[in-house]
Amino acid sequence: MTDSVSSGGHRINLVFVRHPRARRYILRLRPDGAAQVTVPRAGTVREAREFVGRHLDWLLRQVERQHRLPRRGSHAWRIGDTVWFRGQPEVLSLASPTAEGALALRLGGERIPVEAATDDVRPAVQAHLWRMAWRELPPLTLDFAGAHGLQVTRVTIRNQRSRWGSCSPRGAISLNWRLVQMPEASRDYIILHELMHLRQPNHSPRFWEEVARVCPGYREAAAWIRRHQAQLR
């Protein structure tokens, strides 16, 4: 569920994510500028909104801080540019406006709303891909974990600059949002790679035996990533 809050001249999108293992409400500002609110199993969206209200000053300070940061390693995306999406190079194009005249972009089969005409559509497209990653990757990771008898404590989506994923000793999996730009085979390989670290917390021969067992085509999947990783930025 999504919502928004306005204060201090900023309009901040709120993304409510229910987590069955969370014990408390958690508020964090994502790199795409949206605020993610983790809702525990027994929590409610109403209480989550009240939680945001109590921490609104903190959130605004984080927004101001984010706006002051340089945009590292990014370049503008414009109409007509090619962006990788689900393993295919897709052309960013203008979609037909809504009846109300709202602007939107088209990327593959995705329709991406934009607030106003701008030369750089990267923020809008990246925010949309972030939301897709949050919808798709945590459930998929938990499904894989269950299928292989593994216990995952949480799954988070991050904007990692040099890693596709990570696994903590306590079973916390972090995944790069850019996995939605990859083909399914490469995406699944990254997830399974991190899950196998729950069995072998290293890159020993035994670790790679585990990877090969659960992902027989991992070499081809990894090769695709090596060929295209410079374009997934």
Task: Write out pLDDT tens, residues 120-175.
Answer: 888 889 999 999 999 999 999 999 999 999 999 999 999 877 789 999 988 999 99
Same structural domain for residues 133 and 223? Answer: yes
* CA torsion, ordered 190, 191, 197, 198, to nearest 10 deg: 180
Task: Please give the distance of CA 52 from its chain centroid, rounded to a whole number.
Answer: 21
Q: Looking at residue 99, what is its pLDDT?
A: 61
Q: Do 225 and 154 have their domain in common? A: yes
Quote the pLDDT of residue 8: 57
| Sequence-separated contacts (24+) of 40-43 with Cβ below 8 Å | 43/18
Domain count, the chain: 3
**Domain of 196, in residue numbers:** 126-231
Both 64 and 114 in one domain: the answer is: no
Give the DSSP letter of residue 93: E
* 132 and 171, same domain (yes or no): yes
φ, ψ for residue 188, nearest 5 deg: -65, -35
Residue 73 lies in a domain: no
In a domain, 76, yes or no: no
SS3 116: coil
Q: What gap in Å lies between CA 30 and CA 221, rounded to an integer? A: 28
Query: Is 161 or 48 the better-scoring residue by pLDDT?
Result: 48
Q: Classify residue 161: in a domain, yes or no.
A: yes
Both 91 and 59 in a single domain? Answer: no
226 and 162 within one domain: yes
Percent of residues, the chain, with pLDDT higher than 90: 52
The answer on 88 and 184 residing in a single domain is no
For residues 190-215, one letter each, b for 16 or more C-beta atoms within 10 angstroms of the residue's C-beta and e for the rest, the string is: bbbbbbbbbeeeeeeeebeebbeebb
Q: Which of 58, 90, 122 is the last residue of a domain?
A: 122
168 occurs within a structural domain: yes
**The pLDDT value given to residue 157:** 94
Q: Looking at residue 223, what is its pLDDT?
A: 94
The answer, yes or no, to whether residue 27 has pLDDT greater than 50, is: yes
pLDDT for 68 beyond 90 = no
Paired sense of beta strands 10-19 and 35-40, if any: parallel
The answer on 60 and 88 residing in a single domain is no
130 lies in the same domain as 227: yes
- Is there a single domain that holds both residue 95 and residue 51? no
Q: Where are the alpha helices (DSSP H) in the chain?
A: 45-54, 56-68, 122-147, 184-196, 205-214, 218-228
Identify whether 14 is part of a domain. Answer: yes
31 within a domain of the structure (yes/no): yes
Instruction: Look up the CATH number of the domain holding residue 205.
Output: 3.30.2010.10
Hey, what amino acid is at 7? S
Tens of pLDDT, residue by residue over 74-113, are 578 888 889 999 999 999 998 876 666 678 899 998 999 8
Antiparallel, parallel or unpaired: β 93-94 and 88-91: unpaired
